[in-house]
């Protein structure tokens, strides 16, 4: 057990309620303040006593300079996620605050399959028109409306995966097990099986599975859509910012994209004005899930174990 003197003050906004054993372990290694479910205004009312923040990537506010400046003692932000667009990383760099995410530890990252499974779920959903069949049943209908809920099989389709890292690689294996042909494109040459132009022009289903960088921001735009097949299916579980949403809406509307499913949109801290969400309210060819690809008990538990490991490493360094 850590000595009282070596403990650091940690503010956590990530959920712990279904992991009581890990909460006990966290309390043993740090002075823990649980702020899960707090609003931004409630966070800003907390005293400036925290050395480390463990943040929830699902919070409806961004860890911006206002929050970062409020906690003057803050030296590190740990996020149990691969993406960091919920944190103002540029300002953290200016302030000398280290941002530590799951990408820094392949052991924990490679053991998590939730996002891969959810991506595959969305592929099947666009092909089989889910959740509309369930809605039909709730409306008291059955096979009398079968023309509107007749879907397609994945078998013998060509799936194009843009970004064939951990998630893309898993999805490739899943699709091949179902009898699909898979094209991959990646900035790492060894992961690519074809060119981007070939992937876009030949794929029946296109899956976007890339990291959000300055280079990938809004890379999926009208130029990409023009190269795709008519009636293509599109799935995005990376980050909303990799797609130009105005172009996306245009090609959904003219049915160049037959159907799409996304787990992410731009500016998720202000979804009321998002054009994809507003489009989906009146159109059946766009499925949106609320950034839940990684939201499983198993994945969040592994992610919190990663957090605990990192905190122990930080504590150990602070004692030197």
Among 57, 93, 96, 54, residue whose Cα is nearest residue 75: 96
Does 309 lie in the same domain as 237? Answer: no
Of 239, 241, 245, 284, the catalytic one is: 239
User: Are residues 70 and 120 located together in one domain of the fold?
Assistant: no
**Model confidence pLDDT, tens digit, residues 251-306:** 999 999 999 999 999 999 889 999 999 999 999 999 999 999 999 999 999 999 99
Residue 140 CA to residue 39 CA, distance in Å, equals 40
Statement to judge: residues 224 and 148 lie in one domain: yes
Residue the block writes with tokens 């190269």: 227
Cα diameter, the chain: 72
Instruction: Report phi then psi at 66, rounded to 5.
Output: -65, -45
Is 143 annotated as catalytic?
A: no
User: 156: phi > 0 → left, psi -120 to 50 → alpha, else beta; which?
Assistant: left
Confidence of residue 194 (pLDDT cuts 50, 70, 90): very high
Residue of 291, 298, 301, 313 marked active site: 291
Q: Are residues 260 and 124 part of one domain?
A: yes
Same domain, 121 and 263: yes
Q: In this model, does residue 2 exceed pLDDT 50?
A: no
DSSP state for residue 296 in the 8-state scheme: S
Helices 297-318/114-128 angle, 10° precision: 150
Active site residue 86: no
Tell me how many domains the chain contains.
Answer: 2
88 and 122 inside one domain: no
Q: Are residues 98 and 136 in the same domain?
A: no
Domain span holding position 8 = 4-110+297-318
pTM summary value: 0.93
What percentage of the chain carries pLDDT values higher than 90? 91
What phi, psi does 141 have (nearest 5°)?
Answer: -105, 170
Q: What length does the chain have?
A: 320
Q: pLDDT above 70 covers what percent of the chain?
A: 98
Catalytic residue among 268, 284, 298, 313: 268
| Residues 177 and 208 occupy one common structural domain | yes
Whether 291 is a known active-site residue: answer yes
* Mean pLDDT score, 95-111: 92
* Amino acid 316: pLDDT: 84
Q: What is the pLDDT of residues 51-89, one digit of tens each?
A: 999 999 999 899 999 999 999 999 999 999 998 999 999
């Amino acid at each position: 057990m850590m000595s009282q003197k070596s403990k650091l003050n940690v503010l956590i906004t990530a959920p712990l309620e279904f992991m009581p054993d890990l909460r006990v372990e966290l309390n043993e290694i740090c002075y823990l303040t649980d702020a899960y479910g707090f609003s931004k205004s409630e966070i800003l009312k907390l005293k400036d006593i925290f050395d480390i923040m463990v943040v929830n990537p699902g919070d409806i506010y961004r860890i911006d300079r206002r929050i970062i400046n409020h906690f003057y003692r803050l030296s590190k932000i740990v996020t149990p996620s691969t993406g960091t667009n919920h944190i103002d990383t540029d300002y953290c760099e200016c302030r000398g605050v280290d941002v530590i995410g799951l990408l820094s530890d392949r052991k924990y990252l490679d053991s998590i399959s939730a996002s891969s499974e959810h991506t595959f779920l969305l592929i099947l959903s666009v092909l089989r028109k889910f959740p509309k069949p369930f809605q039909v049943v709730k409306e008291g209908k059955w096979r009398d409306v079968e023309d509107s809920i007749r879907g397609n099989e994945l078998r013998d389709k060509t799936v194009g995966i843009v970004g064939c890292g951990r998630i893309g690689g898993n999805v490739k294996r899943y699709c091949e097990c179902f009898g699909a042909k898979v094209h991959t494109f990646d900035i790492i040459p060894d992961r690519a099986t074809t060119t981007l132009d070939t992937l876009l022009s030949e794929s029946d289903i296109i899956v976007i599975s890339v990291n959000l960088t300055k280079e990938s921001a809004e890379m999926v735009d009208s130029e990409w859509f023009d190269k795709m097949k008519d009636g293509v299916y599109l799935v995005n579980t990376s980050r909303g910012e990799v797609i130009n949403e105005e172009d996306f809406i245009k090609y959904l509307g003219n049915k160049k994209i037959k159907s799409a499913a996304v787990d992410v949109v731009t500016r998720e801290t202000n979804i009321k004005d998002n054009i994809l969400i507003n489009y989906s309210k009146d159109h059946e060819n766009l499925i949106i899930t609320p950034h839940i690809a990684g939201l499983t008990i198993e994945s969040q538990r592994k992610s919190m174990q990663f957090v605990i490991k990192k905190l122990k490493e930080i504590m150990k360094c602070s004692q030197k």
